[in-house]
Amino acid sequence: MGGSTSYNGMAYMRGNRADYNKWAELGNTGWSYKEVLPYFKKSENNLDEEIVKNNSEYHGIGGYLSVQRFPYADENVKNIFEACQEIGYKKVDLNGENQLGTMILQTTSRDGQRQSTNTAFIKPIRNKRTNLFIETEAYVTKIKIHPISNRAIGIEYTSTVNNSRIKKVALATKEVIISGGTVNSPQLLMLSGIGPAEDLQKLGIKVIKNSPVGRNLRDHVSCTGVTILLNTTITDKSNEEKTADLKQYLEKHNGPLSSIGPLIVNAFSKTKSHESEKAPNTQLIFLGTNSLTKGLKPLSYYDRIIIKTVLLTPTSHGNYTT
């Protein structure tokens, strides 16, 4: 339960207002920044009083999703944050008026603990809402669409509980919301007859709507840049010290294990060729890793920092084939 929010980096970052406004201009009613901001605020339970006080127009309290800065930031976090400001990045609230600058991020966390969508939204109501039904080990295979109105009226799915394969149907009285992620959502639409007609016909799928579903895949391309080896490493701790850190986290939810190192510092900027004056098109992230770790994993104990550049508005795009 919780999908990628159960293992992601927890950075609490909204999209840029220019993106939402562009969606609205393209005909997507209700998706302008002015229209979506109240829902961000309604959802949010911001636990950092200073941020709420300084930017009350953009933040809310009392919602289901708790957001907060981690209770621990090591010396490298502070050094990186100051260095970003020294080279020209302004200190800003990246979820506020201006997204060009740098910030020690808020995260989807509470008291040093992860707040997944399951923890934040489902657990509080799981045993209280009589109209909430949760079925695990189930895989949606098709959206049921009314043959005359062409409206989605439900889903077909397969239950695999106890290694079974039982086909089931769930009907909707109001609407069907598909939230299968970047890959599964377009795949499910195409299995249901909504997609490129040529591709669907090859597979014998009845075409309900000829649509370029899956033909506009865009990704935030990133590249690993400079690697900084630290003179004084945060891996220089004995097993006794690490055990003490673990005990501190379990008892008080703070200390080194309540954070993810320099990953909580981000910086956003725009290149000279970028068409927007206020929206960023590049992002800098900082990953703490150690020589014993394979891959780029955010760690509490690390001996090097890797600077990655992320392109936010690449012009290239791909497609999913059936």
Asked whether the beta carbons of 44 and 59 are under 8 A apart, the reply is yes
Q: Where residue 298 falls among pLDDT bands split at 50, 70, 90?
A: low
- Is the domain of 184 the same as that of 221? no
DSSP string spanning 252-319? Answer: HS-SGGGS-GGGGEEEEE--TT-S-SSS--EEEEEEEE-TT--S----SS-SEEEEEEEESS-S--B-
CA-closest candidate to residue 306, choices 291, 285, 320, 321: 285
The per-residue pLDDT for 216 is 84
The per-residue pLDDT for 85 is 97
End-of-domain residue from the set 210, 239, 273: 210
- Is the domain of 89 the same as that of 225? yes
- Is the domain of 227 the same as that of 181? no
The per-residue pLDDT for 321 is 61
- Determine what percent of the chain is predicted with pLDDT higher than 70: 95
Contacts of 115 (CB under 8 A, 6+ apart): 10, 65, 66, 67, 108, 109
- Is the domain of 178 the same as that of 228? no
Residue 52 lies in a domain: no
- Is the domain of 80 the same as that of 180? no
Q: Residue 252: what residue type?
A: K
Domain count, the chain: 2
If you average pLDDT over residues 161-174, what whole number do you get?
Answer: 92
Buried b (16+ CB within 10 A) or exposed e, 241-272: eeeebeebbeeebbbbbbbbbbbbbbbbbbee
- Is the domain of 156 the same as that of 76? no
CATH of the domain at 276: 3.30.560.10
Asked whether the beta carbons of 1 and 118 are under 8 A apart, the reply is yes
End-of-domain residue from the set 188, 210, 232: 210
- Is the domain of 162 the same as that of 261? no
If you average pLDDT over residues 165-173, what whole number do you get?
Answer: 94
End-of-domain residue from the set 159, 192, 210: 210
Consecutive H or E run containing 163: none
247 vs 24: CA distance, rounded Å: 50
pLDDT tens digits, one per residue of 210-257:
999 988 888 888 888 888 888 765 667 788 988 999 999 999 999 999
- Is the domain of 221 the same as that of 280? yes
Which domain covers residue 187, as residue numbers?
138-210
- Is the domain of 257 the same as that of 279? yes
- Is the domain of 178 the same as that of 202? yes
104 vs 228: CA distance, rounded Å: 19
Residue 256 lies in a domain: yes
3-state secondary structure 127-159: CCCCCCCCCCCEEEEEEEECCCCCCEEEEEEEE
Q: Identify the three-state secondary structure at position 227.
A: strand
The per-residue pLDDT for 273 is 80
The per-residue pLDDT for 292 is 67
pLDDT tens digits, one per residue of 92-108:
999 999 999 999 999 99
Q: What is the dihedral of CA 308, 309, 314, 317, to 10 degrees?
A: -10
Mean pLDDT of the chain: 90
Pairing of strands 113-114, 44-46: unpaired
Edge to edge, the sheet with strand 222-229 lists 101-104, 265-269, 282-289, 304-311, 222-229
Asked whether the beta carbons of 295 and 270 are under 8 A apart, the reply is no
- Is the domain of 151 the same as that of 221? no
pLDDT tens digits, one per residue of 121-162:
999 999 899 989 999 999 999 999 999 999 999 999 999 998
- Determine what percent of the chain is predicted with pLDDT higher than 90: 71
- Is the domain of 98 the same as that of 233? yes
